[in-house]
Amino acid sequence: MLEHLCECYFDLSVPILCPVLGSITPLFIPNSSIRPIRLIGLCVSLITFLYPPVPRIQFDPSTAKSQFVESLRWLPYENIHLYMGIDGLSLFF
């Protein structure tokens, strides 16, 4: 499973997984320490805000194919794959 993670580009996974992990992480920090929770929230927000322009800069508008394609065998026993990619329309979303 780890070898499949290393093969993909993470161009689409980072903006999706970063807010998810950033919202789960503060659940394990005690409520008495508010500063680390705020710091995690700030870092996750900055990464989520600053990372999406990277695929836009590298996007090639001359082709109609999906770009930055990530394919991951999610549930191999059911033959279910997670497949993500960007085309010209979804680039701006």
**Cβ atoms within 10 Å of 86's Cβ, excluding its own:** 19
Is 18 among the domain residues?
Answer: yes
Is 5 among the domain residues?
Answer: no
Is 1 among the domain residues?
Answer: no
Three-class DSSP category at 57: helix
Q: Considering its fold, how many domains does the chain have in total?
A: 1
Backbone angles phi, psi at 85, to 5 degrees: -160, 165
Residues 6+ apart with CB under 8 A from 58: 11, 68
List the domain range (segments joined by +) for residue 50: 12-92
Is 56 among the domain residues?
Answer: yes
Backbone angles phi, psi at 90, to 5 degrees: -80, -5
pLDDT tens per residue across span 12-68: 777 788 889 898 988 888 877 889 889 999 999 998 888 777 777 778 888 888 888
Is 16 among the domain residues?
Answer: yes
| pLDDT (mean) for 72-83 | 85
